[in-house]
Structure 1
Amino acid sequence: MSTDTKEKDMLRGGQFLVKQTSCDDVFTPEDLNEEQKMMKDSVKEFVDREIWPKKEEFEKKNYALTEEIMNKAAELGFLGVGVPEEYDGLGMGFVSTMLVCDYISGATGSIATAFGAHTGIGTLPILLYGSEEQKKKYVPKLATGEWFGAYCLTEPGAGSDANSGKTKAVLSEDGKHYNISGQKMWISNAGFASVFIVFARIEDDKNITGFIVEYDKDNPNGITFGEEEKKLGIHSSSTRQVFFNDTKVPVENMLSERGNGFKIAMNALNVGRIKLAAATIDAQRRVTDVAVKYANDRVQFDTPIAKFGAIKSKLAEMATSAYVGEAANYRAAKNIEDRISLRQEGGNSHAEAELKSFEEYAIECSILKVACSEDVQNCTDEGIQIFGGMGFSADTPMESAWRDARISRIYEGTNEINRMLAVGMLVKKAMKGHVDLLGPATKVADELTGIPSMEKPDYSELFAEEKEMIQKLKKVFLMVAGSAVQKFGPQLEEHQQLLLAAADILIEIYMAESGILRAEKNAKRFGEDIQKEQIAMAKLYLYHAVDTINQKAKEGIVSFAEGDEQRMMLMGLKRFTKYQNMPNIVELRNKIAEKLTSENKYCF
C-alpha cells in the first residue's frame, strides 16, 4: 500500500467526530505486542519494588529519594524509551513511551511529575527542535539520566498567557552569547536539573525565544533558586522558583529560531498533555485496587461493605473510568505512532515526523488531558469515601493520592484552557479543510426540519444501539457548534462558557466511543461472555456521556438561540439523546463490582 493510500485511510486529528470508526481499526491495551508486555511488566515490577513500598517516605518531602528513583529508572532505560538509538535511547514507538509513562506514574505523583517533566517537556524541545549539534550534546545525557531536565516557561505574570513572559535575553556586544535575566516559577525538577529549557524575549520581539541553559552548582552562572515550594500534593517533587541574573548562554544554545519559543512551548505541551493523561491511568487502577481490597475486608453490620449497593456503585464507576481512559489513551497513542511512521516513510526526519504528528492530534491530546485528570480526581475522592474516616488519615494511601491528583487539572495548561483549545483547534482545522465540519453540520440542520423515521431499528448485534447513539451524539455537537460558529463567527472565542459546554460534548463523545470500540473489539476476539463486565463498563460510561451531553447542549443552545430556532434545536437534542432501550444502570454497576470484588483487585 502506498503512503498516499495509507494516509487517506488514516483518520486525521479531530476526524473521529465526522467519520465512523471500526473497532478493527483501533488499538487497545489488549493489542500490546510481546516486547511491550515485557516492558510493562518490567516497569510494574520496578514500581512495586522501588516506589510503592516507600509511599509514606514520599510524603515527607524527600527530594533526594525522588532523584535516587529517577537515577534507578535511568539505569533501566526508562528515561529514553522514545529517544532514537542514535542519541542513546531505546528507539521504541510512541505506544511504548505512553506505556512506561502510564505504569511508572501510578504509585506517587512525585515520581509521575519528575518523570513526566524530564522525559517530556525537559527533553523533547531539544529532540524536536534542536540542531544536530544540540541533540548530540544534550539528548544522550538526558536519555541516560546523566543529566536531568527542567522546563522554565511560567512566570509570576505569565501562566496560561505563556507568551507574555518578561524574562529578557540581551545579546552581548561581541555577539557570542545572550545574557538572560528574569524569574521563572513552579519549575519541576529545579532542585536537581542540569539542563533548563528557558524561554525569554529578545528586545521587543512579538514572540519569546527558547534557549538551552546548563546549570553547574560549582559555577552557577547567575542562576539561583527559591526554597522548595510548600504544596498541597506531590510533596517530593522538587518545585522551585528559578532566577536568572545575567546568565550567559552561548548563541549556539538558542533553540530553533529567534521568536519561535511560543511555538516550541505549545507543541511541547501537546506531548505533555497526552502523557499526563497516561500518567493518571495507573493511579486509577491502584486506587481502585486498594479500595476493592478494603471494601472486601471492612465489615459493618456483620457484612463486608463490598456487598452494599452504595459501595458497589462507587467501585464500578471507578473501574469504568480507568477502563475507558485506557481505551482512549492507547487509541490516540497508536494513531500518533502510525502517523509518525507514515511521515517517516514519506521522507520526514524523526523530529519532523513527531512534531507534525503531535500537532495533528493536538485536539485528542487536550481531550485526554481534561478527561483523565478529572477522572483520577473523582476516583481518588471516591477512594477516600470508601475508606470512610480512615480515608481522611495520612496513614492510608487514599489521602496522598487525592492530593497528588489535584495538580493534574492545572499543569500542562489548565483544564479550562484545554477545553477551549480543543474546540478552537477543531474549528481551525475545519477552516483549513482538514476536517469537514460544514457538510455534516448542514446535514444535521436539514435533519432537524425533516420528519423523523418511524422505522424500528434492528439492535440485534452487540453495541448496535450504542454505536447509533454515538453517531447521534456527534450530531448534537455539530448542531450546537455549527449554529454557534454561524452566529458568532470569529467572535466565538469570546463566548467562553459556550466553548466550555461544546468542549464537554466533544470530550464525552471521544471517550465514550473509545470505550465502546475497545469492548466491541475484545468481545469479537475473546467472546462476549468473557468480556461481559467490559461490555457493561462501556455501556455505563456511554449512559453518563449521554446525560452530560444532554445537559451541556441545553446550556449551550439556550445561551445563543431564541424562539423557533431554540425550540427546534431542543427538540433535536431530545431526539439525538433518546435511548430506544434504556440500560439498567444498577444491573451494569453490580455486574462490574461483583467481578472486582470476586477477583479482589482491579482486574481489567
Structure 2
Amino acid sequence: MNDETKTQKDLLRGGQFLVKETSAENVFTPEDFNEEQKMMRDSVREFVDREIWPRKEEFEKKNYELTEELMKKAAELGLLGVSVPEEYDGLGMGFVTTMLVVDHISGATGSFSTAFGAHTGIGTLPITLYGTEEQKQKYVPKLATGEWFGAYALTEPGAGSDANSGKTKAVLSDDGKYYSINGQKMWISNAGFCDLMIVFARIEDDKNITGFIVENDPENGISMGEEEKKLGIHSSSTRQVFFNETKVPVENMLSERGNGFKIAMNALNVGRIKLAGACLDAQRRVITSAVNYANDRVQFKTPIAKFGAIKSKIAEMATSAYVGESASYRAAKDIEDRINIRQEAGASHQEAELKGVEEYAIECSILKVAVSEDLQNCTDEGIQIYGGMGFSADAPMESAWRDARITRIYEGTNEINRMLCVGMLIKKAMKGHVDLLGPATKVADELTGIPSFETPDYSELFAEEKEMIAKLKKVFLMVAGSAVQKYGPQLEDHQQLLLASADILIEIYMAESAILRTEKNAKRFGEDSQKEQIAMAKLYLYHAVDTINSRAKEGIISFAEGDEQRMMLMGLKRFTKYQNHPNVVELRNTIAEKVISENKYPF
C-alpha cells in the first residue's frame, strides 16, 4: 500500500502495535523520503557542516553569543519555521519533515540542538497549538522568522517532574486588564537571549496551572540569574528567571484558565518524539568519528578496527542508531497520517496536530527513553574506542558524552516516561481505545493449554523473528495483565514493576520497527542489498529477548507466588525461546565490516 493513501482503517491507534500485527508495507521508513524531504535533509546537513561543525570547540567555551548568531542563520534558511503554517510565515511542512530537520540539526552540537529544540518546540508550539488567532498573528511570525526567540518557563525549584505543583502566582488586577506574575523558574533554556516566554502560573487556588505568553522585558519585573554551570551543553543559555509583579495583559493568557497543565503535557509529547529525533544524527556522527579513529589508530602493527573487541562495539553502536531511526520515523509518519486524517475530516490545524500527537503519546515516551539511552551508550563506547584520547577534551568524544547526558533528563526524566507509557496504555485500554483484555485473556488461556510441538516453517525472511515478536507481546500481556488484575488502580504505586513492564514494551516497539523497516526494504530492493540491515534487526531482537526475559522474570517473582508464579515462569521460558539461535558474533562482524570498510555510518 502506498503510504500516501493510508486511511483511518489502515492506521493503528497509539499503543495498538502491542495487540495488532503491523504489515511491513504500512510502515514508513527513511528510505521512503520524498525529493522535498531529501532536499531539506541535505540543506540542514550542509548548514551544520558549513556553519557549526568547524566551530565545535567554541561551543565548549560558553559562547552563548555564537549560539544566538547561528540561530539567526538557521532562521534565514527557514529552519525555525519548518512546522509553522505558511499563514504565519512558516514553511508549513509535515511532521516527518520537521523530524528530519530536528534529526540532522542534532549532528551539530548539544548546545545548538538544545537551543533549536527549545525555540521551535516548546517555545513556539504552545502558541501555534493553543493560541487565539490574534496571539498567533502577533507572535508566531516573529518566532518562525527568528526575529524573536522563544523559551518555556515551567520548571521551578520545588516543581520538576511534578510540574503541576508550581508555586508561581498570577493575580488579576482590580481593573481586570492584566495579571501580575510573581515567582521563580529554573533551568530555562534560551533564557539569556529570548524575547518571549511561555510561563506557567497558578491563579488563586486553582487545581491546575495556567499558561501565559510573556514578553521578556526587564522593565516589567523580569530578572535573570547567572548562566548555570552545567555538565554539558555549555553554550546553551540556561538561567533562572524571576518574576516580580510582572504585568501580563489578560489577552496573553494561553488557552483557558487552568489549562496550563494540559498545554505543558501536550507540548512535552511533541518534545519527546522530537528529542528522539535530536539524538539520531548525533549518534551517526559519533559512530563515524569512532570508526575513523579505529581505522587510523595502529596498535600491535594493526589498525584497531580489525580487532574483534572493537568490531563488537562498532556493530552495537550502528545497530542502536539504525533501530532508533527506524522507530522514530515509523511513529512520526503515524502522527502525520493521523493529523492529515483529522484535517481532511474538517478539524483545524491546531486541533488536528494536538490530537494527532496525543494519540501516539505512548510511542513518544517509548522513543524518548530508548533513543536517549542509546545515544548515551554510543558516546560512552565512542570514548572507549578512542581509549585515553577519548577522555581528553581535545578529542570530540568527551563533549559528545557530556552533551548526551541531559537527554535522559529533559522532556520528563526517563523514569517518568517509562511509567507514563505503561500508565497511558492501561488508561487507553480502560477507555476501550486499545483492547488489552481480550488478548491478555487469550494468553492466560494459552498458559494452561498444551503447547504445540509442530516444527514451524521459517523459510521466509524474518519468519522466526516475527513469531518471536508476537511471543514477546504475549510476555507483556502476561505480566502487565496479571499485575493489573492483582493491583488494579494501585498499580501506579508499584513503580519498580511499572519500570520492568515499560522496558518490555520499549524493546517490543523498537525491535519490531527495525524488523518491519528491513523487511519492507528487502522486498523492494532485494535481500542482498539489505544484508547488514538484516543482521542489525536480528542482533537487536536477540538483545531485546534477553532484556525482556530478565525484566519479566523480575516482575513475575515480585508479585506472583506458588503455582501462579511457576506457570508464568514456564510461560516466559516458552515465549522467549528461539528455535534457531542467531550467531551473534557473525552478525556483529557482518555489520562492523560494512561500517569499517566505508569508514562512516553508512546506513
Does TM-score exceed 0.5, indicating one fold?
A: yes
TM-fit CA distance, 1:537: 0.4
CA deviation map 1:380-408 (0-9, x unaligned): 00000000000000001100000000000
Residue 310 of structure 1 pairs with residue 291 of structure 2: no
Q: What is the SS of the residue equivalent to 1:326?
A: helix
TM-fit CA distance, 1:4: 13
CA deviation map 1:488-541 (0-9, x unaligned): 000000000000000000000000000001111111111111110010000000
What pairs up with 1:174-213 in 2 under 5 angstroms?
Answer: 174-213=175-214
What pairs up with 1:251-290 in 2 under 5 angstroms?
Answer: 251-290=250-289
Indicate if the aligned counterparts of 2:436 and 2:477 stay in contact, CA closer than 8 A. yes
Q: What is the CA–CA distance in structure 1 between the aligned matches of 2:108 and 2:173, rounded to whole Å?
A: 47
Q: What is the SS of the residue equivalent to 2:136?
A: helix
Residue of structure 1 in register with 2:440 after alignment: 441
Q: What is the CA–CA distance in structure 1 between the aligned matches of 2:426 and 2:313, rounded to whole Å?
A: 37
Q: What is the SS of the residue equivalent to 1:65?
A: helix
CA deviation map 1:140-168 (0-9, x unaligned): 11011100000000000000000000000
What pairs up with 1:55-204 in 2 under 5 angstroms?
Answer: 55-204=56-205
TM-fit CA distance, 1:107: 2.1
Counting matched residue pairs gives 601
Q: What is the SS of the residue equivalent to 1:7?
A: coil
Q: What is the CA–CA distance in structure 2 between the aligned matches of 1:379 and 1:315, rounded to whole Å?
A: 9
Indicate if the aligned counterparts of 1:74 and 1:145 stay in contact, CA closer than 8 A. yes
Indicate if the aligned counterparts of 2:595 and 2:601 stay in contact, CA closer than 8 A. yes
TM-fit CA distance, 1:290: 0.4
Q: What is the CA–CA distance in structure 2 between the aligned matches of 1:5 and 1:367, rounded to whole Å?
A: 24
Q: What is the CA–CA distance in structure 1 between the aligned matches of 2:402 and 2:76, rounded to whole Å?
A: 29
Any gaps of 5 or more consecutive residues in structure 1?
A: none
Any gaps of 5 or more consecutive residues in structure 2?
A: none
Q: What is the CA–CA distance in structure 2 between the aligned matches of 1:231 and 1:213, rounded to whole Å?
A: 26
Q: What is the CA–CA distance in structure 2 between the aligned matches of 1:254 and 1:407, rounded to whole Å?
A: 31
Indicate if the aligned counterparts of 1:288 and 1:379 stay in contact, CA closer than 8 A. yes
Tell me the TM-score normalized by structure 2: 0.99
Q: What is the CA–CA distance in structure 2 between the aligned matches of 1:84 and 1:519, rounded to whole Å?
A: 34
Indicate if the aligned counterparts of 2:130 and 2:263 stay in contact, CA closer than 8 A. yes
CA deviation map 1:370-427 (0-9, x unaligned): 0000000000000000000000000011000000000000000000000000000000
What pairs up with 1:530-569 in 2 under 5 angstroms?
Answer: 530-569=529-568
Residue of structure 1 in register with 2:347 after alignment: 348
TM-fit CA distance, 1:8: 2.1
Residue of structure 2 in register with 1:335 after alignment: 334
CA deviation map 1:570-592 (0-9, x unaligned): 00000000000000000000000
TM-fit CA distance, 1:310: 0.3
Indicate if the aligned counterparts of 2:6 and 2:337 stay in contact, CA closer than 8 A. no
Residue 511 of structure 1 pairs with residue 476 of structure 2: no
Q: What is the CA–CA distance in structure 1 between the aligned matches of 2:54 and 2:250, rounded to whole Å?
A: 46
Indicate if the aligned counterparts of 2:208 and 2:259 stay in contact, CA closer than 8 A. yes
Q: What is the CA–CA distance in structure 1 between the aligned matches of 2:596 and 2:414, rounded to whole Å?
A: 33
TM-fit CA distance, 1:5: 9.2
Indicate if the aligned counterparts of 1:276 and 1:408 stay in contact, CA closer than 8 A. yes
Partner amino acid for 1:128?
L
Indicate if the aligned counterparts of 1:171 and 1:178 stay in contact, CA closer than 8 A. yes
Q: What is the CA–CA distance in structure 2 between the aligned matches of 1:205 and 1:550, rounded to whole Å?
A: 45
Partner amino acid for 2:262?
K
Q: What is the CA–CA distance in structure 2 between the aligned matches of 1:215 and 1:266, rounded to whole Å?
A: 23
Residue of structure 2 in register with 1:54 after alignment: 55
Residue of structure 2 in register with 1:576 after alignment: 575
CA deviation map 1:217-269 (0-9, x unaligned): 5xx30000000000000000000000000000000000000000000000000
Residue of structure 2 in register with 1:502 after alignment: 501
Q: What is the CA–CA distance in structure 2 between the aligned matches of 1:224 and 1:105, rounded to whole Å?
A: 30
Residue of structure 2 in register with 1:486 after alignment: 485
Indicate if the aligned counterparts of 2:324 and 2:371 stay in contact, CA closer than 8 A. yes
TM-fit CA distance, 1:216: 3.4
Residue of structure 2 in register with 1:466 after alignment: 465
Q: What is the CA–CA distance in structure 2 between the aligned matches of 1:163 and 1:597, rounded to whole Å?
A: 49
Q: What is the SS of the residue equivalent to 1:241?
A: strand
Residue of structure 2 in register with 1:42 after alignment: 43
Q: What is the CA–CA distance in structure 2 between the aligned matches of 1:289 and 1:524, rounded to whole Å?
A: 28
Indicate if the aligned counterparts of 1:107 and 1:286 stay in contact, CA closer than 8 A. no
CA deviation map 1:431-457 (0-9, x unaligned): 000000000000000000000001100
Residue of structure 2 in register with 1:423 after alignment: 422
Partner amino acid for 2:535?
A
Partner amino acid for 1:243?
F
Q: What is the SS of the residue equivalent to 1:166?
A: coil
Q: What is the CA–CA distance in structure 2 between the aligned matches of 1:553 and 1:486, rounded to whole Å?
A: 16
Q: What is the SS of the residue equivalent to 2:192?
A: coil
Indicate if the aligned counterparts of 1:98 and 1:275 stay in contact, CA closer than 8 A. yes
Q: What is the CA–CA distance in structure 2 between the aligned matches of 1:495 and 1:106, rounded to whole Å?
A: 38
What pairs up with 1:24-35 in 2 under 5 angstroms?
Answer: 24-35=25-36
Q: What is the CA–CA distance in structure 1 between the aligned matches of 2:187 and 2:276, rounded to whole Å?
A: 20
Residue of structure 2 in register with 1:14 after alignment: 15
Indicate if the aligned counterparts of 1:533 and 1:591 stay in contact, CA closer than 8 A. yes
Partner amino acid for 1:442?
T
CA deviation map 1:271-323 (0-9, x unaligned): 00000000000010000000011000000000000000000000000000000
Partner amino acid for 1:322?
A
Q: What is the CA–CA distance in structure 2 between the aligned matches of 1:529 and 1:359, rounded to whole Å?
A: 39
Indicate if the aligned counterparts of 2:270 and 2:357 stay in contact, CA closer than 8 A. yes
CA deviation map 1:78-124 (0-9, x unaligned): 01101100010001100000000000112210011000000000000
Partner amino acid for 2:143?
L
Q: What is the CA–CA distance in structure 2 between the aligned matches of 1:216 and 1:58, rounded to whole Å?
A: 27
Q: What is the CA–CA distance in structure 1 between the aligned matches of 2:133 and 2:540, rounded to whole Å?
A: 46
Indicate if the aligned counterparts of 2:392 and 2:398 stay in contact, CA closer than 8 A. yes
